[in-house]
Amino acid sequence: MLAIQRREKIMELLREDGSAKVIALAKLFKVTEVTIRQDLEKMEKDGLIIREHGGAYLKNMKDQVQTFSLTHQEHLDKKALIAQKCLEFIEAGDTIILDSGSTTTEIAKGLKGRKNLTVITNALNIALILGAEPGIEVIVTGGEFKPPTLSLTGQKAADFFKGLHAQKLFLATAGISLKAGLTYPSISDLVVKKAMIDAADTTYLVADSSKMGKAAFASLGALSLIDYIITDPGIEEKHKQLLTDNDIELIIAS
pLDDT confidence bin for 193, thresholds 50/70/90: very high
Q: Is the predicted pLDDT of residue 186 greater than 90, yes or no?
A: no
- State how far the Cα of 35 lies from the Cα of 42, in Å rounded to an integer: 11
- Give the pLDDT mean for 205-228: 90
pLDDT digits (tens, 9 = 90+) for 109-143: 999 999 999 999 999 999 999 999 999 999 999 99
The CATH number of residue 213's host domain is 3.40.50.1360
Taking phi over 0 as left and psi of -120 to 50 as alpha, with beta for the rest, 74 belongs to beta
- Give the pLDDT mean for 159-175: 95
pLDDT confidence bin for 68, thresholds 50/70/90: low
Q: Is the predicted pLDDT of residue 65 greater than 70, yes or no?
A: no
pLDDT confidence bin for 243, thresholds 50/70/90: confident
- Give the pLDDT mean for 234-244: 89
User: Of 58-72, 135-149, 210-224, 233-247, which range is least confident?
Assistant: 58-72
Domain of residue 33, residue span: 3-59
pLDDT at position 199, please?
Answer: 98
- For residue 203, the 8-state DSSP code is E
Based on the fold, state whether residues 143 and 191 are members of the same structural domain.
yes
pLDDT at position 247, please?
Answer: 81
Based on the fold, state whether residues 116 and 18 are members of the same structural domain.
no
Q: Dump strand ranges (E) for the chain.
A: 19-21, 49-52, 55-58, 95-98, 117-121, 136-140, 144-146, 151-153, 166-171, 175-177, 181-184, 200-206, 218-221, 228-231, 249-252
pLDDT confidence bin for 67, thresholds 50/70/90: low
User: Of 2-16, 25-39, 120-134, 192-206, which range is least confident?
Assistant: 2-16
- Do 101 and 172 touch, CB atoms closer than 8 A? yes
Based on the fold, state whether residues 101 and 168 are members of the same structural domain.
yes
Measured on CA atoms in the order 108, 111, 115, 117, is the torsion positive or negative?
A: negative
Based on the fold, state whether residues 101 and 163 are members of the same structural domain.
yes
Based on the fold, state whether residues 44 and 113 are members of the same structural domain.
no
Other CB atoms within 10 A of residue 25 CB: 23
| Domain presence at residue 70 | no
Based on the fold, state whether residues 86 and 158 are members of the same structural domain.
yes
Crossing angle of the two packed helices 22-29 and 33-45, in degrees rounded to 10: 110
Measured on CA atoms in the order 98, 101, 103, 107, is the torsion positive or negative?
A: positive
pLDDT at position 178, please?
Answer: 78
Could you tell me the CA-to-CA distances from 115 to 131, 149, 170, 208, 241 in Å, in that order? 13, 27, 19, 28, 38
- Give the pLDDT mean for 89-94: 98
Cα radius of gyration rounded to whole Å, the chain: 18
Number of structural domains, the chain? 2
Based on the fold, state whether residues 109 and 226 are members of the same structural domain.
yes
Torsion of CA 18, 24, 27, 29, to 10 degrees: 20
Could you tell me the CA-to-CA distances from 33 to 173, 186, 239 in Å, in that order? 30, 20, 39
- Give the pLDDT mean for 64-70: 64
- Do 233 and 252 touch, CB atoms closer than 8 A? yes
pLDDT confidence bin for 162, thresholds 50/70/90: very high
Identify the bridge partners of residue 57 per DSSP, sorted by sequence position. 19, 50
| Domain presence at residue 15 | yes
| Domain presence at residue 234 | yes
The CATH number of residue 13's host domain is 1.10.10.10
- Do 249 and 229 touch, CB atoms closer than 8 A? yes
Based on the fold, state whether residues 102 and 196 are members of the same structural domain.
yes
Based on the fold, state whether residues 141 and 207 are members of the same structural domain.
yes
| Domain presence at residue 181 | yes
Mean pLDDT (the chain, rounded):
90
- Give the pLDDT mean for 162-182: 92
pLDDT at position 72, please?
Answer: 62
| Domain presence at residue 132 | yes
Based on the fold, state whether residues 96 and 54 are members of the same structural domain.
no
The last residue of one of the domains, among 11, 32, 59, is 59
Based on the fold, state whether residues 82 and 158 are members of the same structural domain.
yes
